[in-house]
């Protein structure tokens, strides 16, 4: 399949542990986004990568959250010292068009549960 | 800053009937795109329909159509001949026109649509 791939699909961790969530975008897509979806809430923007430009990190909720994108392809979202309020579905999306006119292609998300 | 408001958290429709999902937004941009996304239980967001703000004609995709009122900043989704497979969460989204480094989508909180057989 050529869709956006995210792993793990589900992750249960203990409070205080670090977690890494991975996103493999559609090949050739230059833009990559991370969103967070908490229970009963909409999608909260976290971070956006576009080609070689500096990422837009304006949505990251705290300095415990970071993300990187290696080689313009795979991205990893890292949450350090997880808290219970970090429990959510983390959605990754990619887009082929740097001049944004069209849709985002989403993965199935990674559900994070912090005990 | 952009805001997208979906004031109805839940709606229900009888199979084969028509339902309208409401959305209002606020943006300072003059040229932009609006989207409705569907999120079934599988969690994967799927684009339902797109509207270009500079076009006066409302977009239509099979059983899905929009009522776009630019002056009122309203963008509702109409689903005709509702089917059981339409049951999902529906999100309205408005982008920020590309100005350089930021072209993220702003989403509403979503509407949970149930379809009664």
Q: Which residue has the higher pLDDT, B97 or A97?
A: A97
Mean pLDDT, residues A84-101 taken together: 84
Coil, strand or helix at A5: strand
3-state secondary structure B72-87: CCEEEEEECCCCHHHC
Q: What is the pLDDT of residue A98?
A: 54
Confidence of residue A102 (pLDDT cuts 50, 70, 90): low
Residue numbers of chain B with a pLDDT score lower than 50:
99-102
| Distance in angstroms (rounded) separating the CA atoms of residues B66 and B78 | 6
**How far A107 CA sits from the closest chain B CA (Å)?**
6
Mean pLDDT of chain A: 91
pLDDT at A99 over 50: yes
Q: What is the pLDDT of residue B97?
A: 58
The contact set of A with B (CB < 8 A) is 31, 33, 35, 40-43, 45, 48, 50, 53-54, 56, 58-59, 89, 91, 93, 98-104, 106-109, 111
Within 8 A by CB and 6+ apart from A66, the residues are: A60, A77, A78, A80
Q: What is the pLDDT of residue A97?
A: 66
Instruction: Note whether B95 contacts A100, CB cutoff 8 Å.
Output: yes
Q: Which residue has the higher pLDDT, A14 or A43?
A: A14
Q: Which residue has the higher pLDDT, A70 or A103?
A: A70
Nearest to A50 among B35, B101, B107 (CB): B101
The shares of helix, strand and coil residues in chain B, as percent rounded to the nearest 5, are 5, 50, 45
Beta bridge partners of A45: A35
Confidence of residue A67 (pLDDT cuts 50, 70, 90): very high
């Amino acid at each position: 399949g050529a869709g956006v791939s995210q792993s793990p699909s589900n992750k249960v961790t203990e409070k205080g542990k670090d977690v890494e969530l991975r996103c493999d975008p559609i090949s050739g897509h230059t833009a990559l986004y991370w969103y967070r979806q908490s229970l009963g809430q909409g999608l909260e923007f976290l971070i956006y990568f576009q080609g070689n430009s500096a990422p837009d990190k304006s949505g990251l909720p705290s300095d415990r959250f970071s993300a990187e994108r290696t080689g313009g392809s795979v991205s990893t979202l890292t949450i350090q010292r997880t808290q219970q309020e970090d429990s959510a579905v983390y959605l990754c999306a990619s887009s082929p068009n740097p001049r944004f006119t069209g849709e985002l292609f989403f993965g199935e998300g990674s559900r994070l549960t912090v005990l | 800053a952009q805001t997208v408001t979906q004031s109805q958290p839940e709606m229900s429709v009888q199979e084969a009937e028509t339902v309208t999902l409401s959305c209002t937004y606020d943006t300072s941009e003059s040229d932009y795109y609006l989207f409705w996304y569907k999120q079934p239980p599988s969690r994967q967001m799927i684009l339902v329909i797109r509207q270009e703000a500079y076009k006066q004609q409302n977009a239509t995709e099979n059983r899905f159509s929009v009522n776009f009122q630019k002056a009122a900043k309203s963008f509702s989704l109409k689903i005709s001949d509702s089917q059981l497979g339409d049951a999902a969460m529906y999100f309205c989204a408005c982008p920020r026109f590309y100005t350089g480094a930021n072209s993220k989508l702003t989403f509403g909180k979503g509407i949970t649509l149930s379809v009664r057989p």
